[in-house]
Structure 1
Amino acid sequence: MPADAGVRHPPHLYAYDLVDGRYEPVADDAEELIVDKPFDIRPRLRDTAP
């Protein structure tokens, strides 16, 4: 549990894409973030958080 590790709020991942000089959100998730640009990546939060 995140609280057991001293984390008060569950972690959350966000991904942004730079479009015309501005960042636009393309994905956000608390479990698994899936993006396909610039390459396919699918990190699971439980694998990256303490």
Structure 2
Amino acid sequence: MTITLFAQPYDISANGFYFTSTEDYEAKVRTLKTTTAIQLKSLKFSSSTVK
């Protein structure tokens, strides 16, 4: 018997997903694309930005 669980991220811009094992969960969580993550990746930091 396979148990299927659903993971709903806290970030409401991310879609939840179903998983059946810890390996499945970890693989899917790495591919999450959230608005927050995309915004952070698009920021350009320099030494003058951080004080």
TM-score band, normalised by the shorter chain? under 0.3
Larger Rg: 2
Taking structure 1 as the reference length, the TM-score comes to: 0.27
Q: Answer 1 or 2: which has greater strand percent.
A: 1
Q: Answer 1 or 2: which has greater helix percent.
A: 2
